[in-house]
Every structure is written in C-alpha cells, then in structure tokens.
A = this chain, B = another copy of it.
Amino acid sequence: MNESAVRPRPGGRSARVREAVFDAAVAVLAEQGPAGFTVGEVARRAGVHETSIYRRWGTREGLAVEALLDRSRRELPIPDTGSLREDLAAYAAELIVFLRAPLGRALMHTLTMAADNPTVVAARDEFWAGRFELAGVMVERAVARGEVPEGTDSRSVLELLIAPLHFRMQATGEPLGIDLADHLADLVVRAFSLPLVD
C-alpha cells in the first residue's frame, strides 16, 4: 500500500523539472533579488519552457513562494543549552546568519512584498506559525526551569528577540552584526525575568 504509485515517482520528468525550476528560482532570487526575479529568467536557467512554469505555478509570486519555502524547509535548529539567555543568543545568531544569506533576504522580501496575494499570505502564516511553535520550546523549557514566570507568552519573547533583526534588515537597512545576538538575548531575558506587574 505504497503511495508512490499514486503520485509520480520522485525521479520522473515532473520531479526533474520541479527541482530544476526551484534551483533556478532560488538562484535568481539570491543573485538579483525580487526585482530581477522573472519567469523568463528562471525558465532560461532551468532549461525549461516558460509555459511549463505558468502551467504549474500560475503566477510569479506562486513560484517564488513555493520555491523559497521548499528551500527553507530545514527549520533553524532549536538550541538547548540549559539557559534561556544562551538559548536565545544561539537562536538569534542562527537567524542572523540566515537573514544575511541571500536565501533569507529573498524569502523575507518576498513574503513581505506579496502581502496581497492570498496564496502567499497563507504560506506566510503557516511559515510563521511553524517557526513560533518550534522555537517556543525554548521558552517552555525556561518556564519549567523557573527562569521566567509561569504563563510567560513564548510568542512575545520570541518577537522581542527577532523583531529587531528583521527590522534592521527590512526597514532601516542597517548591517546585522553577529554581536547583536548576545545583546538582544540579554535585553529579552531582562525584560521577561520578573513577573509583569499589571
């Protein structure tokens, strides 16, 4: 009762096309940013006809998002150092590395840019939900260890940690130094280490 009979085999022509297109798409996005991301260019690099891309992915945004998410599937590993501060610092450092890489920049740019396309929005929401859920265990472990009060909202913690990184990259354009990781981890831990009064 193998489902490989239902769907095309992973080595078939379709799969080959799919891979080639994704490779090309990510490469183009990485090299030229979302501006230079053209269906024609992707088709040329993938050695595939433009029409084939439109047939499968419908629109340019669809292709970009699917390719990027496919290639960003390997989530950031969740550190487990035994200390919230160290966990957050390590996680932030990983994120900085990701965001500085072309793939990361391209992913974020694309998710932001196409905020009116429903497909993209759906993918985006799913993406962030997954991220926050996975990373949430860092906070849960800290709660269990008593480092932060019971009831601490993991999403708030993570947002405070990673928002400045995205902010710099997307809004102000400032460089993302790796030392930001430690700095932010410190601040976030201090912000959440005591129970909120109100």
Contact = CB atoms under 8 A, between A and B. Distances in A.
A3 interface: no
Range of interface residues on A (Cβ < 8 Å): 35 or more
Contacts of A111: 171
Nearest to A132: B172
Contacts of A194: 190
A162 interface: yes
Interface in A154-191: 156, 159-160, 162-164, 166-168, 170-173, 183, 186-188, 190-191
A191 B173 CA distance: 24
A125 interface: yes
A35 interface: yes
Interface in A103-135: 108-109, 111-113, 115-116, 121, 124-125, 128
Contacts of A198: 186
Contacts of A160: 160, 164, 187
Q: How many copies does the complex hold?
A: 4
Given A33-B116, A191-B188, A166 B171 contact: yes
A159 B164 contact: yes
B170 A171 contact: yes
B124 A172 contact: yes
Given A108-B171, A124-B173, A186-B196, 20 more contacts: A112-B113, A112-B170, A112-B171, A113-B113, A125-B172, A125-B173, A128-B172, A156-B187, A159-B167, A160-B160, A163-B164, A163-B166, A163-B167, A163-B168, A166-B166, A166-B167, A167-B167, A186-B198, A187-B192, A190-B190
